[in-house]
Amino acid sequence: MMESPHKGKTGITRLVNAFKYSCAGLKEAYRNEDAFRTEVALAIVLIPLAFFINHEMQGRALMIASVMLVIIVELLNSAIEATVDRISLDDHNLAKRAKDIGSAAVLISLINLIVVWVLVLLN
């Protein structure tokens, strides 16, 4: 089994490479994933809004974390979908299951966002 040639890197080199790969992943997600772009737009609106409508640090932190969670889950879902598509574009029950479960995770994170925002705002 072949391993990545980057696995042996340590220290600052590893951190710099990890940062570059992460930035490349964000660019790819933004370029290729409509849902990710929509959720980034939502974050651009909601995160500053959290600073204006809630002056308590805990509430603000929960509101922002719930927005960031949606973005994190969407990135993971997009990675799952890309991996499944890389393996095969054929219809297969397991491929559908993987994609549907990833999509369900995004839905749950969006419901979480709504619940957190409503609870914080009603406090």
* Structural domains of the chain in order of their starting residue, each with its CATH number: 34-122 (1.10.287.3610)
Would you state the pLDDT for residue 1? 66
Other CB atoms within 10 A of residue 50 CB: 19
Residues with catalytic annotation? 74
pLDDT tens per residue, range 33-68: 999 999 999 999 999 999 999 778 999 999 999 999
Residues 88-102 have a mean pLDDT of 94
